[in-house]
Amino acid sequence: MTLLDFVKSEDPVIRRAAWNVQARLLAGADYGMDPATRTQLFGFEEDVETVIGRAMEGFEDFAVIGTVDRFEDSVRAAYRVLDLPGEPRFEYNNRTPSRFKDQGVTDEVLEYARQMTEADQIVYDAANARLSELTSTDGIQGLRRTR
Model confidence pLDDT, tens digit, residues 22-69: 999 999 999 999 998 999 999 888 899 999 999 999 888 888 888 888
Which residues lie closer than 8 Å to 135 by C-beta, 6 or more apart? 73, 76, 77
How far apart, in whole angstroms, are the C-alpha atoms of residue 130 and residue 33? 32
67 touches 134 (CB < 8 A): no
Show me where the domains of the chain are located: 7-146
pLDDT digits (tens, 9 = 90+) for 83-111: 999 889 988 877 677 666 666 789 999 99
Residue 31 sits at φ, ψ, to 5 deg, of -75, 155
Q: Whole-prediction pTM value?
A: 0.78
How far apart, in whole angstroms, are the C-alpha atoms of residue 53 and residue 119? 9
